[in-house]
Amino acid sequence: MKSTHKILDCTIRDGGLVNNWDFSIDFVQDLYRTLSAAGVEYMEVGYKNSPKLLKSGDAGPWRFIDEAFLRDVIREKTETKLSALVDIGRVDENDIVPRKESLLDMIRVACYIKDVDKGLELVETFHQMGYETTLNIMALSHVMENDLNEAMEAIRNSPVDVVYVVDSYGSLMPDDIEYLVSKFQRLLPDKELGMHMHNNMQMAFANTMVGASKGVQFLDSSVFGMGRAAGNCNTELIVSHLKNPKYEVRPLLDFIGRRMIPLRNEVEWGYIIPYMITGMLNEHPRTAMALRNSPDKDNYVEYYDRLTSPETAFDR
Amino acid sequence: MKSTHKILDCTIRDGGLVNNWDFSIDFVQDLYRTLSAAGVEYMEVGYKNSPKLLKSGDAGPWRFIDEAFLRDVIREKTETKLSALVDIGRVDENDIVPRKESLLDMIRVACYIKDVDKGLELVETFHQMGYETTLNIMALSHVMENDLNEAMEAIRNSPVDVVYVVDSYGSLMPDDIEYLVSKFQRLLPDKELGMHMHNNMQMAFANTMVGASKGVQFLDSSVFGMGRAAGNCNTELIVSHLKNPKYEVRPLLDFIGRRMIPLRNEVEWGYIIPYMITGMLNEHPRTAMALRNSPDKDNYVEYYDRLTSPETAFDR
């Protein structure tokens, strides 16, 4: 597969949902060096939400990236660009400096379909500040066609650079990806597309490759798949498969052995049965995450019964 | 996907390569009940090789299935049929009783492309004894086209019921599966086909679904993916996705929680980086298995360097 693709590694941002963003500065510096050496185009260093608009608890600094702090961490930019994600209603636009004063190159806006208009407003603001922008439409497996069509109309008229297909629940199969990507390509001919997959059914890499082969440009991934619940498409798998001489898997293998294996021994993500169940049922993984934090964490059948019985189903 | 497929669970046989076939009788009985309740069509209970032709060490009984022993274990047959695998040169035909005296319904013959003639001889013998037969051609990713064409000629004229595409090294991608299945279907129009995938690159389930959608009838899998090295396509994923009202994932979820999680804490299989490396390089996992049994088991980059450097490469 010839590669005109761009890999966006979101280990720190999506992986932060697993360890409460408790990555050391050294870890993040090491990862930036690693991704740079691997030829990965973008590294997402965290969320750019505002601590004023969101309970912060004891979250690590990557949940609310501070520009001065970031400058302390990333002393020298490489060819690997930096991005941050914001959520509707949780970002204070006054926290964001113009791109030329920032280490960030790209700001990504995540929203549900009902908030696309608000998302596009933020996109417009960040676009005018000089940033590359993306709109990441979450939970597409729960979206009705008419709502999606309406959103596409608004997106077409916005300056957003990249529009993402996000499989929040890890429930999409390759034929779903074929369908969604074709639709996005037809309705958004002037936009680049992106994919952000979850691995609940071991389909994150396969789905990402389906998108890549159809011409989707931006491919989200994380090292060793680290991300919420079942995690993401693995950066090392994408890097080893896209035909582009600049990609090198070796630095990633090194990083995984040194950094990710010890981390995976402390916190969990990946193909874990309760996440497979929510993927299969096309549901948010929150009940499965709660189960994994309980003494019943391996009582899969009771969990499955609760989730599928009309009387006892969790409030969805 | 409408399902005219048959699932063949090889947890005991392929999983036995991980734990030296150290499954208790109780475990195997439990699995048989579970697969029967899940609607799985075949359970492979082990190898039917001869201990006279193979060093047995302290392997469990599923490596050399004895008919009387098997009758003690499986007291009552369900609709789930039983199969066993044999290897060229390791099976003594005198060990095999005719099907009507056996609990086994199917004997599968595994061989490399150069031994297809020997494989077909065994198939002929077992066929005359009344068994359903398969020929499992291993390591297809290392086979040249002319050798494959020649083998197809011989297979076409044999009584074998099912011919398997075996991705021994876990190196095949969906487009490879498309290619091989199309070729097999074209050259073997009167045979049923099967797929046996390995999960080195997290492609076992995706590849199996590609084959299923092209009409491949026999789908190999194992519960929680247990199998040599990176393991196999997960039975619970296939059962949850094929559209056939008789399939039930619930018994499998129960079995995984009770049986597979404790087992996985003792022995390892699955997406482990050295197996990802051999899959990516299209090589036998034996060097990776050796690495995982050494103190250097997480020194991925040194292993990768050894495997890819011309001077120090392992003897392949």
Give the phi and the psi of residue A111 in degrees, each rounded to 5.
-155, 160
Q: Is A27 on the interface with B (CB under 8 A)?
A: no
Classify domain B6-266 at the CATH topology level.
TIM Barrel (3.20.20)
- For chain B, 316 residues long, the average pLDDT of each consecutive 10-residue run is 82 97 97 98 96 83 94 97 96 94 98 96 98 96 91 96 97 96 96 98 98 98 98 98 95 98 98 98 96 97 93 59
Low-confidence stretches of chain A (pLDDT beneath 70): 1-3, 312-316
E strands, chain B, where?
A: 6-9, 42-47, 81-87, 106-111, 132-137, 162-166, 192-196, 218-221
Give the phi and the psi of residue A133 in degrees, each rounded to 5.
-130, 150
Closest CB from A201, A204, A253 relative to B300: A253
Rounded to the nearest angstrom, the gap between the alpha carbon of residue B94 and the centroid of all alpha carbons in its chain is 24
Instruction: State the pLDDT at residue B2.
Output: 47
Instruction: State the pLDDT at residue B216.
Output: 98
Q: Is B299 on the interface with A (CB under 8 A)?
A: yes
Instruction: State the pLDDT at residue B55.
Output: 78
Instruction: State the pLDDT at residue A314.
Output: 59
Which residues of B, range 32-71, sit inside 8 Å of A by Cβ?
none
Do B205 and A202 lie within an 8 Å CB cutoff? yes
Residues of A in contact with B271 (CB under 8 A): 270-271
Tens digit of each residue's pLDDT (9 = 90 or more) over B146-165 = 999 999 999 999 999 999 99
Q: Is B309 on the interface with A (CB under 8 A)?
A: no
User: Per residue, what are the HEC states of A187-253?
Assistant: HCCCCEEEEECECCCCCHHHHHHHHHHCCCCEEEEEHHHCCCCCCECEHHHHHHHCECCCCCCHHHH
CATH 3.20.20.70 range(s) for chain B read 6-266
Helix (H) or strand (E) holding A108, with range, is strand A106-111
Q: How many residue contacts between A and B have a Cβ separation below 8 Å?
A: 92
Task: Choose from A237, A258, A272 for mutation: most chain B CBs within 10 A.
Answer: A237
Closest CB from B174, B202, B257 relative to A237: B202
Long-range CB pairs of A109-112, under 8 A, 24+ apart, other chains included: A109/A85, A109/A133, A109/A134, A109/A135, A109/A136, A110/A85, A110/A86, A110/A136, A110/A138, A110/A166, A111/A87, A111/A135, A111/A136, A111/A137, A111/A138, A112/A137, A112/A138, A112/A139
Q: Is A268 on the interface with B (CB under 8 A)?
A: no
Give the phi and the psi of residue B110 in degrees, each rounded to 5.
-100, 135
Do B174 and A298 lie within an 8 Å CB cutoff? no
Task: Choose from A173, A175, A253, A265 for mutation: most chain B CBs within 10 A.
Answer: A253
Q: How far is A273 from chain B (nearest CA, A)?
A: 8
Give the phi and the psi of residue A87 in degrees, each rounded to 5.
-110, 145
CB A201 within 8 A of CB B237: yes
